[in-house]
Structures are given as C-alpha cells and as structure tokens.
Amino acid sequence: MEPVRYDDRQEIISLPLQPAAARKRRNWKKYLYAGLLLLPLLLFILGFFVVPMLYILYLSFIEMKGETNAVYSIGNYIQFFTDPYYLHSLWLTIKVSLYTVIVSLLLGYPVALTMAKCSPRVRGLLTLLVASPLLISIVVRNFGWYLLLLPNGTIHQLLTSLGITESPPKLLFSEAGVVIGLSNAYLPFMILSIATSLYNIDPSLEKAAAILGAGPLRSFVSITLPLSLPGIVSGIVLVFSMSMSAYVTPALMGGANVPMLPVVAYDQIINLLRWTYGSAVSYVLLGITLAIVTIFTRMMERGRYREVFR
C-alpha cells in the first residue's frame, strides 16, 4: 500500500498555521467521511460473507439426533473421517488435483518461458490468448472438451490413428476427463504465475553463465529454473487449491464415476438436505487444502533453494 501522501503534505503545510483544535476537528471529520464511504462495503462483506462462513462453521459442530433434537458435537467430523466412502472421495480429490497440477506445470512452463523470451508485442498477444479463456464460462469450455472426448470423437481418432492406443480409452466420465477439464481451466493461472517470476530474472545472469561456458540446458537448470521457483510454487498452490474445490468440471466431465469431494458436498446439501454434515464437509475441504498447501510451501521455502524465496 502506498503511503498517503496527501496527509503528510497537509501536516507539513498546516502545522505552523493551524491551532491544534482545528486540526483535531479536521481529523475527526476525515474519519467521518472515510467511515461513510466504507461502511456500506464493510457491512455488506461482514453480513453476506463473514457471518455466513462463521454460521456454517457453527453448524458443522451440530449433530442432529433424530428429526428435531440437535446437540453440539464433533460427530459430523468423526463421521467423515471414519466412513470409507468419504475418505475415498477425499483421496480421489487429492489425486485428481495432483495430476492437474503436474499437467499444468508441464504444459505451462514452456509457455511462460516463451513469454519471457519474446518481444513485448508477442508477449502482449500471448498474455491475451492465455488469460482470456479465464473470462469465458467454465461450462462452455467443458462442453468443448466434451465434443472432443466423445467416444469415436476427435481425440479418440487421433489416438488410434497415431497408434498410441488400439482400443479407445474411456476419457469422458473418467478421472482423465476431469484432469483434462481442470488443467485446461487452470493452466492460465500456472502460466501467468510462472511468467511473472521469469520476468524478474536479471538477464545478465544467463549471459554470465554463457560466458563461463554453460550451455543452454545447464544455464536453464542452474539459473532460470531455481530463480523461477517462487512462481512455480505459487502456481502450484493456486492450481491445486482451485482443483480441490472445483465443482462444475468434476460434475460434467466425471459425473457419477468420479465422486470428488465438492460433488459429494453438493449432493449432501442440495439433494439430501443434510446441512450440518454438508457444512462440516466444506470445512474439511478448506482445512485439508490449507494444510497441504502450507506444508508444501514451508518445505519449498526451507529446501535447497531457500534463498530464492526471500
């Protein structure tokens, strides 16, 4: 945040001229203006975001005994972590999110590297092409993949004609379909995040490496890659946490065959009307995602390349 220059200057200009009381009154008036401008927004966010989030946290600790009898307990959480169905769903969600991260990283890094190395004009065009799909509805993008992944569709024909597979693999309504849909949706975040860290690398470092006799591969492995780690880490964190909580893509590309946790939570809330349990599942999803992301970030920040994170 920029320091507020207006106030500083005014203080300097007005110090000898105005008595303390007038200044104090002015300050009080300023707080009033600030409060009036801020109040609607603050109340809105508190009332329609913070309170609802706390309300479902509270609900998650309520267990329904029968129809009407509600008691405080951690029963919802115990039920989650003892039921094999939900544990399998959690594991499936983590697994699919990890695959999505790997695909996005492998496909995204070369694009980010190209963006960092090309002329400003090309970079602007690439940024537009990479970022704009983010502003087009996910259902539309999923429908495009649905068309491509249909049995005997384009991808199947491509795979069989290239001789990669003989019998077409099941892509739609499978984990592979969900990974394709999710990585397609979140790849732009990975690319933009890595590109930002690549732009900050001092180009003279690579020149120095070349002068010292390093080939392009050596220079990439020991300079570019480590220095882009902060971007890689934040890209991984973004893509992973968004994949963990994605609902639309697993529902459309996986269907009932891939019951990821968001799909299960939706079912609990909308179809089974189990609000207290659904609230608990939401917080499990939030908690597990946060825990994995935190452990991963800490490990990277204390690892071999800890200097680049400072």
Partner 1 sequence: MKIFGKIRVAVALLSLVYILIPLLVTIPASFTSASYPSFPPQGFSLQWYTKLLERPEFVEAFWNSVKFAFLAAFFSVLLGTLGAIAIAKYDIPGKSYLVSLLTSPLTVPQLVLGIALLVYFTPMLLAGTPTGLLIAHIVICVPYVIRFVLTGLSGFDYTLERAAAILGANPLTVFWRVTLPLIRPAILSGALFSFLTSFDNVTVSLFMISSDMRTLPLEIFSNMQDAYSPIVASVSSVVIIISVVLILILEKIHGVGRLLGSSH
Q: Which residues 133-152 are close enough to bind partner 1 by CB under 8 A?
A: 133-148, 150
Return the range that interacts with partner 1 (CB under 8 A); candidates 4-12, 18-26, 72-80, 93-101: 4-12
Beta carbon nearer to partner 1, 214 or 308:
214
Beta carbon nearer to partner 1, 228 or 279:
279
CB atoms within 10 A of CB 215: 10
Contact letters for partner 1, residues 63-102 (x by CB under 8 A): ----------------------------------------
Return the range that interacts with partner 1 (CB under 8 A); candidates 85-93, 201-209, 249-257, 292-300: 249-257
Beta carbon nearer to partner 1, 172 or 229:
172
Phi/psi for 3 (5° steps) reads -65, 150
SS3 166: coil
Return the range that interacts with partner 1 (CB under 8 A); candidates 17-25, 93-101, 132-140, 200-208: 132-140
Per CB under 8 A, the list member of 22, 26, 31, 70 interacting with partner 1 is: 31
Per CB under 8 A, the list member of 14, 22, 26, 38 interacting with partner 1 is: 38
Shortest separation between residue 103's beta carbon and partner 1, angstroms: 9
Per CB under 8 A, the list member of 98, 286, 288, 308 interacting with partner 1 is: 286
Determine, following the binding rule CB under 8 A, whether residue 178 of this chain makes contact with partner 1: no
Per CB under 8 A, the list member of 90, 92, 96, 130 interacting with partner 1 is: 130
Question: In the window 104-123, what residues touch partner 1 (CB under 8 A)?
Answer: 107-108, 110-111, 113-114
3-class SS shares of the chain: helix, strand, coil, % to 5: 80, 5, 20
Contact letters for partner 1, residues 213-242 (x by CB under 8 A): --xxx--x-----------------x--xx
Contact letters for partner 1, residues 255-274 (x by CB under 8 A): x------x--xx--xx----
Which H or E element spans position 35? helix 20-45
Beta carbon nearer to partner 1, 2 or 307:
2
The Cβ-side half-sphere exposure at 49, using a 13 Å CA radius, reads: 6
What is the CA angle 288-292-298, rounded to 5?
145
Rounded distance between C-alpha atoms, residue 303 and residue 96, angstroms: 26
CB 104 within 8 A of CB 183: yes
- The three-state (H, E, C) secondary structure of 172-215, written as one string: CCCHHHHHHHHHHHHHHHHHHHHHHHHHCCCHHHHHHHHHCCCC
Residues in CB range of 246: below 8 A, 6 or more apart: 182, 185, 260, 262
Question: In the window 158-177, what residues touch partner 1 (CB under 8 A)?
Answer: none
Question: In the window 40-69, what residues touch partner 1 (CB under 8 A)?
Answer: 40-42, 44-45, 48-53, 55-56, 59
Beta carbon nearer to partner 1, 34 or 208:
34
Per rule CB under 8 A, count of chain residues that contact partner 1:
96
User: In DSSP terms, which residues pair with 72 in a beta bridge?
Assistant: 62
Determine, following the binding rule CB under 8 A, whether residue 188 of this chain makes contact with partner 1: yes
Q: Residue 224 CA to chain centroid, in angstroms?
A: 24
Rounded distance between C-alpha atoms, residue 165 and residue 158, angstroms: 10
Rounded distance between C-alpha atoms, residue 254 and residue 248, angstroms: 10
